Structure 1
Amino acid sequence: MTVNVQLGLTAVIVAVAGATPRLVVVRSGFEIPESHRTGAEPPPHRDALPGAAFEPERWRTLQEGVRAVAEGLSGLTLRYVEQLYTFGDRFRDPHELFGGPRSMTVGYLALVRDDPLGGDAEAEWRDLYDHFPWEDWRDERPALLDTVILPALDRWVRTGEDEAARVRRRERVQMAFGTDDWDAERVLDRYELLYEAGLVVEAHRDRQLESLAGAEDGRPPLREMPRALGRPMARDGRRVAATALARLRGKLKYRPIVFELLPPTFTLHQLQQVVEALSGARLHKQNFRRLMLTAGLVEPTGAFESQTGGRPAELYRFRRQAIHERTSARAIPEA
């Protein structure tokens, strides 16, 4: 049997506005075909990541294609671009359920400075933590961990088919959501666990769509009702975005990519805000400043920012030669 496969390109475009990490979403155009509508179908999720089919006759490389697609849809100039992963799960794109091709997409992380959107689509900035509220620990431990997520995961563990399955589930929960040793980089592990346990809306939406199309695969029904755990996205958008956030948090430790999100000159307070926004954690102010200066990643410009509401703050710039001086060192030392 011949399977028609379409290769796509998807971009997770990230910026930081003040203390708010943001990503670009565009409007999804998917509609359930009239022939399959029953009146009880799930509502379409309109927040989608910028993306399009790869056009091999038009673009020499995948990165050339993703830049053209993302910049055309958002009106932004991409700065740092990095390939993430190829996403190709069956039915990841609901068009496949209703006769469309098998969809595979190459995901990319793209960093930009915070600028107004334009482009050819109805693009909007969205707070990244609207989609992943359990990932933001800057002010305090997110309350929904104890009120919703962990109790629901405990019930999921107890519904394992046998003791071995329950042990495996318990270990996964402890690794992903271990509150004594929270690993900020396990963003994707946490989202995929919530999806498998049926705690996010997308899990139930995808099962409903498969049922409408007559494509059930024999999986057991989801026991938990979906929760309002973050804003859902079209297709597997949150899985792709979780992959990007995990990669970004990992990169902060050994590559100075954070400077791609800042203007040419900035205060140390602005720099710390951006790092905290992406890591989802607070840093000790004096330790952070001392470490950034001793690491040689920034240098003073001699100018001052007067619009701070208080004493003028000194402006700094990124020392690009530090990339060559510290190839094996931590880019953003842990404060």
Structure 2
Amino acid sequence: MSDKLLTPIEIGLTAAIVAFEDNEPLILTASSTDGDKLTGLPFGPFDAVAHRTFEMGLRDWVEAQTGLRLGYVEQLYTFGDRGRHAQPGDTEVHIASVGYLALTRTIASNGARAPGASFEPWYRFFPWEDWRQDRPEIIQRYILPELAKWAAQGEAPETTRALPRKDRVRFYFGTEGAHWDEERVLDRYELLYEAGLVEEARRDGRPAALQRPTLPPLGVSMRFDHRRILATAIARLRGKLKYRPVVFELLPGEFTLTELQRTVEAISGRHLHKQNFRRLVETGALVEPTGVMSTQTGGRPAALFRFRREVLQERPAPGLRVRARH
């Protein structure tokens, strides 16, 4: 047996817990207990003795820490890059984290939540992803000029990517006639990281970040690689909208069609044509009327609907394949 010292590995569970309130998609964040002032996603270790599965462990510690009982939970990816929780040369425990996307209808009261835990709008962390009003100013004012400079430098000697920098900028950010694909959240974040434009790149010592002057922050940075995990979760949820009825996990049991549309718009980051959206919902037979009118709309009473669960047996991909106006 080799005498080489082995670095210990710990398995962690990181949760991107999404809720919806006041027309905004929210993500549950938790402050550090070790003095790090950066916010992050809820995180806890996997206890192989106490928990039979990763998901059971996730549900248990999320409820203990936040007071939330999770509904929909889906495993995203295992994030294990060296450097997630360690500095170069560190031989301490290496943490590989299994990331999860979780949805909840309930925003627990402050008294039931762990100190430092709060729901935050996810567009604070990714302001370039919110196209509900128009193309975000941050893209044209800061991101594209800096990416153009970076792309003009040519490829790094060690690169093995099939697409050159200029093409990746065009495809991911929808420039020069390319289509903005709302699902490419992770691709856009990783491109900004590679170009040294997000704070995490500077913190990790990326040469591209260290060689450029300090820029206005592009969104709020997070601890470790938690913003990358969140980008993965947002991309997964945006994709799921099109072929799974996951949006109803964020809505109350009864809702108006306007509430449904605003939830879909908030998650996708795109403004949708009202009549086209309602036609799509009607054609897809995803909802059914309750026969009750809501008077909480601030205007004329609106019909209340509920998710029609029979659709799950009727076809394999009952989602909302919406088309944005942009």
Quick check: TM above 0.5?
Answer: yes
Matches within 5 A, 1:239-318: 239-318=228-307
Counterpart among 20, 29, 35 of residue 33 in structure 2: 29
Distance in 1, Cα, partners of 2:139 & 2:205: 25
Distance in 2, Cα, partners of 1:6 & 1:333: 40
Contact 1:184–1:249 (CA under 8 A) maintained in structure 2: yes
Cα deviation for residue 94 of structure 1 reads: 3.4
In angstroms, what is the RMSD of aligned CA positions? 2.1
In the alignment, does 2:60 pair up with 1:68?
yes
CA deviations 1:301-335 (Å, max 9, x no partner) are 0111101111111100000111111214x511324
Cα deviation for residue 163 of structure 1 reads: 9.9
Matches within 5 A, 1:1-335: 1=4, 2-31=6-35, 44-94=36-86, 98-117=90-109, 118-160=112-154, 168-179=164-175, 180=177, 181-207=179-205, 222-224=210-212, 225-328=214-317, 330-335=318-323
CA deviations 1:132-158 (Å, max 9, x no partner) are 000000000001111100000111112
Q: Secondary structure at the match of 2:210?
A: coil
Distance in 2, Cα, partners of 1:112 & 1:26: 16
Identity of aligned residues (%): 49
Distance in 2, Cα, partners of 1:65 & 1:274: 29
Contact 1:6–1:101 (CA under 8 A) maintained in structure 2: yes
Contact 1:96–1:103 (CA under 8 A) maintained in structure 2: no
- Tell me the matched-pair count: 312
Segments of 5+ residues of structure 2 without an aligned counterpart are none
Contact 1:45–1:233 (CA under 8 A) maintained in structure 2: no
Residues 274, 220 of structure 1: alpha-carbon distance in 2 compared, 3 angstrom cutoff: closer
Q: Secondary structure at the match of 1:258?
A: helix
Residues 299, 97 of structure 1: alpha-carbon distance in 2 compared, 3 angstrom cutoff: farther
TM-score calculated relative to the size of structure 2: 0.90
CA deviations 1:4-61 (Å, max 9, x no partner) are 1111000000011131010000012345xxxxxxxxxxxx442110011110001000
Cα deviation for residue 220 of structure 1 reads: 6.8
Contact 1:45–1:232 (CA under 8 A) maintained in structure 2: no
Q: Secondary structure at the match of 2:201?
A: helix
Cα deviation for residue 86 of structure 1 reads: 0.1
Distance in 2, Cα, partners of 1:137 & 1:89: 32
The residue type equivalent to 1:207 in the other structure is: G
CA deviations 1:243-290 (Å, max 9, x no partner) are 000000000000000000000000001000100000000111111112
Distance in 2, Cα, partners of 1:313 & 1:205: 50
Distance in 2, Cα, partners of 1:10 & 1:162: 32
Cα deviation for residue 294 of structure 1 reads: 2.1
The residue type equivalent to 1:172 in the other structure is: R
Residues 29, 100 of structure 1: alpha-carbon distance in 2 compared, 3 angstrom cutoff: farther
Contact 2:10–2:94 (CA under 8 A) maintained in structure 1: yes
Distance in 2, Cα, partners of 1:10 & 1:156: 32
The residue type equivalent to 2:13 in the other structure is: L
Which ranges of 4 or more aligned residues in structure 1 deviate by more than 3 Å?
94-99, 161-167, 219-222
Q: Secondary structure at the match of 1:10?
A: strand
Distance in 2, Cα, partners of 1:178 & 1:298: 33
Contact 1:91–1:103 (CA under 8 A) maintained in structure 2: no
Q: Secondary structure at the match of 1:207?
A: coil
Cα deviation for residue 221 of structure 1 reads: 6.5
The residue type equivalent to 1:126 in the other structure is: E
Contact 2:25–2:266 (CA under 8 A) maintained in structure 1: yes
Single out whichever of 95-104 and 8-17 deviates more from structure 2: 95-104
Segments of 5+ residues of structure 1 without an aligned counterpart are 32-43, 209-218
